């Protein structure tokens, strides 16, 4: 066997990294990282550092983050205190699964619960702006939320959020309270009348998303880790119930997503690792067909059991990665990473049609609208696709694909408003990531392609309460919101923001506008 000098040097380098990683990584972690990320790597003020939580971050980026720190956060640079091999050892360490699966049950959830002291006599907003036309802008650049006046387009308040919020914030029915979910499982309830945090609780190590019951009484969170659904009291976020997510064969599953189905007084949850869809009733008494006695953690005795949140299980042939309801909440329209989508009839309890969606829409991206055709009014579902540069338009009566609109790249989010003739879709991936297509809702044709900030990713649109203006995010650390007149498609204002990933108009959310996510 022949050895080259460079080969030997490479081998020695790998050995030294390996030696560092096996011998010192844990000690290095405890010395330098555990104060913020937890001795158990489950996160404290900093995020959890587990392979399950880091799947969106490449090892190379993790190396850069430890080396150079993270701007606008407490994550400091370690390049002057740690050697390259020590940093590499730390990277390897945080991508190594824990020896024992982490536990996050009743004890840990209850211990994390924080109830803040707030003035309970406040019954009106402390600001002048229309409380139904404010936007919440989630700025992931520095983990803050801005409250934006939707008439003047001026920020009126800004507060720090938990690290890594994901998904749309969920509002109660009046729009006064809003609930945020962080990827690390923190749920935060915020009072928009007095700009105060009401309560927080950590319900899991890796959470998927959250829904609020239509009677404003319950919050439900679906987790990836552990495999649970957690139900909270919406008033103070106290724990009511943990539902272990176990399929009919006794196998645990992650939760793909959970949403409120308001006319049914139930939550609908899809399992990610089993082809099951669960309907969880919060009606009292629950309708026929629901079983299951469950434990209510608000009762002090371990024996106390009440009939709460019974589950009706629907067994399907393939897994649902995410889903979307029709406006009547009878049909679940689902997406799947592996195959095509399917339509499930919640009343009939099974699949009624296939959905010809080619490439896995981003979960929660679809919208619906009505259009006139020679045969009458047609309701359509429109969604971009993550794996294909197109928007799919589906007839919601026949469930057939009626149009595939080619786009300049795969898109993430699609939005519209009942009063707007247009639907907007971003081009999130590829060289045209700065483009935003505007589609005519009647002709189903792209009428204009905007470039809100040439060269910079533009994504996620939300309309004002009256549908007159559309706000587009520029996804940069020093990004902005670009406000468009939704009719003339001219820019009316630019508002600087720190990577504003999403923005949410209170009125459109609480009235369940068909042009946005719920």
Instruction: Pick the piece of the chain touching ligand DHE (CB under 6 A) from 101-109, 166-174, 271-279, 284-292.
Output: 166-174
> Exactly one of 364, 383, 392, 420 binds ligand DHE (CB under 6 A); which one?
364
- Copy the structure tokens of residue 493: 């204002």
CB of 18 to ligand DHE, least distance (A): 30
DSSP state for residue 263 in the 8-state scheme:
G
- Copy the structure tokens of residue 33: 């990282």
Q: Answer for the pair 274, 319: CB distance below 8 angstroms, yes or no.
A: yes
Task: Tell me if 257 contacts ligand DHE by CB under 6 A.
Answer: yes
Task: Tell me if 460 contacts ligand DHE by CB under 6 A.
Answer: yes
Task: Tell me if 322 contacts ligand DHE by CB under 6 A.
Answer: yes
Nearer to ligand DHE, 85 or 182 (CB): 182
Task: Tell me if 517 contacts ligand DHE by CB under 6 A.
Answer: yes
Instruction: Pick the piece of the chain touching ligand DHE (CB under 6 A) from 35-43, 362-370, 371-379, 488-496.
Output: 362-370
Nearer to ligand DHE, 331 or 460 (CB): 460
Q: Which of residues 485-504 bind ligand DHE (CB under 6 A)?
A: 501-502
Q: CA of 368: how far to CAs of 13, 157, 165, 318, in Å?
A: 56, 32, 26, 24
Phi then psi dihedrals of residue 223, to 5 deg: -110, 150
Task: Tell me if 56 contacts ligand DHE by CB under 6 A.
Answer: yes
Number of H helices, E strands in the chain: 6, 35
**Site size with ligand DHE, rule: CB under 6 A:** 16
Task: Tell me if 363 contacts ligand DHE by CB under 6 A.
Answer: yes
> Exactly one of 70, 79, 158, 166 binds ligand DHE (CB under 6 A); which one?
166
Nearer to ligand DHE, 32 or 460 (CB): 460
User: Which residues touch 372 (CB under 8 Å, ≥6 apart)?
Assistant: 378, 442
Q: Which of residues 79-98 bind ligand DHE (CB under 6 A)?
A: none
Q: Answer for the pair 40, 49: CB distance below 8 angstroms, yes or no.
A: no
Q: Answer for the pair 461, 102: CB distance below 8 angstroms, yes or no.
A: no
User: If you search the block for the tokens 């820019």, which residue do you land on?
Assistant: 491
- From residue 389 to residue 428, the character string flagging contacts with ligand DHE as x (rule: CB under 6 A) and all else as - is -----------------------x----------------
CB of 340 to ligand DHE, least distance (A): 17
Other beta carbons within 10 angstroms of residue 436's beta carbon come to 25
Nearer to ligand DHE, 185 or 502 (CB): 502
Q: CA of 73: how far to CAs of 46, 146, 180, 430, 443, in Å?
A: 9, 17, 19, 29, 46
**Can you state the percent helix, strand and coil of the chain, rounding each to 5?**
15, 40, 50
CB of 412 to ligand DHE, least distance (A): 5
- Copy the structure tokens of residue 211: 């829904």
> Exactly one of 46, 168, 341, 467 binds ligand DHE (CB under 6 A); which one?
168
CB of 10 to ligand DHE, least distance (A): 34
DSSP-based three-state secondary structure for 32: helix
What is the contact surface with ligand DHE in residues (CB under 6 A)?
A: 56, 140, 166-168, 209, 257, 322, 362-364, 412, 460, 501-502, 517
């Amino acid at each position: 066997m022949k050895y080259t000098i460079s080969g030997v040097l490479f081998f020695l380098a790998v050995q030294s990294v390996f030696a560092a990683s096996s011998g010192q990584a844990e000690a290095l972690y405890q010395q330098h990282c555990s104060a913020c990320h937890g001795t158990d790597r489950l996160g404290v003020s900093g995020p959890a550092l587990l392979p399950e939580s880091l799947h969106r971050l490449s090892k190379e980026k993790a190396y850069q983050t430890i080396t150079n720190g993270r701007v606008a956060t407490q994550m400091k640079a370690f390049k002057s205190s740690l050697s390259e091999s020590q940093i590499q050892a730390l990277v390897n360490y945080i991508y190594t699964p824990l020896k024992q699966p982490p536990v996050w049950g009743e004890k840990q959830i209850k211990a994390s619960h924080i109830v803040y002291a707030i003035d309970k006599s406040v019954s009106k907003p402390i600001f002048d702006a229309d409380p139904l036309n404010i936007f919440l802008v989630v700025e992931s650049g520095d983990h803050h939320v801005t409250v934006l006046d939707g008439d003047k387009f001026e920020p009126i308040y800004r507060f720090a959020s938990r690290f890594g919020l994901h998904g749309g914030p969920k509002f109660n029915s009046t729009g006064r309270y809003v609930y945020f979910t962080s990827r690390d499982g923190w749920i935060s309830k915020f009072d928009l009348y007095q700009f105060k945090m009401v309560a927080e609780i950590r319900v899991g190590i890796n959470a998927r998303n959250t829904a609020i019951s239509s009677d404003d009484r319950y919050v439900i969170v679906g987790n990836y880790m552990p495999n649970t659904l957690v139900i909270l009291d919406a008033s103070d976020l106290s724990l009511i119930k943990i539902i272990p997510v176990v399929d009919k064969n006794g196998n645990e599953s992650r939760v793909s997503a959970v949403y409120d189905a308001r006319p049914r007084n139930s939550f609908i949850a899809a399992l990610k690792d089993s082809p099951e869809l669960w309907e969880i009733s919060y009606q009292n008494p629950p309708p026929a067909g629901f079983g299951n006695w469950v434990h209510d953690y608000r009762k002090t005795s371990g024996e106390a059991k009440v009939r709460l949140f019974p589950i009706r299980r629907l067994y399907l042939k393939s897994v649902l990665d995410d889903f979307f309801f029709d406006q009547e909440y009878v049909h679940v329209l689902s997406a799947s990473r592996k195959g095509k989508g399917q339509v499930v009839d919640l009343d009939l309890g099974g699949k009624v049609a296939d959905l010809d969606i080619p490439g896995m829409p981003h979960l929660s991206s679809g919208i619906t609208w009505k259009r006139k055709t020679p045969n009458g009014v047609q309701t359509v579902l429109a969604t971009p696709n993550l794996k294909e540069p197109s928007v799919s338009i589906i007839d919601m009566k026949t469930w057939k694909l009626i149009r595939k609109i080619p786009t300049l790249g795969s898109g993430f989010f699609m939005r519209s408003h009942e009063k707007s003739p247009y639907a907007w879709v971003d081009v999130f991936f590829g060289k045209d990531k700065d483009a935003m297509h505007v589609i005519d809702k009647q002709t189903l044709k792209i009428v204009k392609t905007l470039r809100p900030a040439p060269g910079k990713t533009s994504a996620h649109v939300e309309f004002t309460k009256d549908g007159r203006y559309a706000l587009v995010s520029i996804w940069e650390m020093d990004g902005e919101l670009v406000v468009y007149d939704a009719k003339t498609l001219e820019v009316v204002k630019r508002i600087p923001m720190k990577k504003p990933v999403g923005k949410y108009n209170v009125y459109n959310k609480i009235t369940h506008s068909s042009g946005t996510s719920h």
